[in-house]
Amino acid sequence: MSTYKRGNTSDYDSAEVLPSRPRRKQVPTGEWECMECGHIHVGDRAPAVCPDCGASGEDFEFFEYEDDDWEDYD
């Protein structure tokens, strides 16, 4: 029998279920701007299609955040 539960790790020697490690909040490193309509998308990659104008993902340009942009959120 397995004592494994989703989100937990199991210590197999004592069969004790240990709590999982907390996940770090992922802070976006930049944003994607549609060069056709100006729509801004925050994420690690451009969307396949712009939700505002329907332009392809190739029409997005990536802008990286500066380090001082995030100092207010720490």
Q: Residue 48 sits in a domain of what CATH number?
A: 2.20.28.10
Q: Residue 59: what pLDDT? A: 95
Q: Residue 26: what pLDDT? A: 63
The answer to whether residue 11 is domain-embedded is no
The answer to whether residue 27 is domain-embedded is yes
Helix-strand-coil percent breakdown of the chain, rounded to 5? 15, 30, 60
Would you say the pTM of this structure is higher than 0.75? no
Domain extent for 57: 21-69
Domain total for the chain? Answer: 1
Q: Residue 24: what pLDDT? A: 66
The answer to whether residue 12 is domain-embedded is no
The answer to whether residue 10 is domain-embedded is no
Low-confidence ranges of the chain (pLDDT < 70): 1-19, 24-28, 67-74
The answer to whether residue 60 is domain-embedded is yes
The answer to whether residue 3 is domain-embedded is no
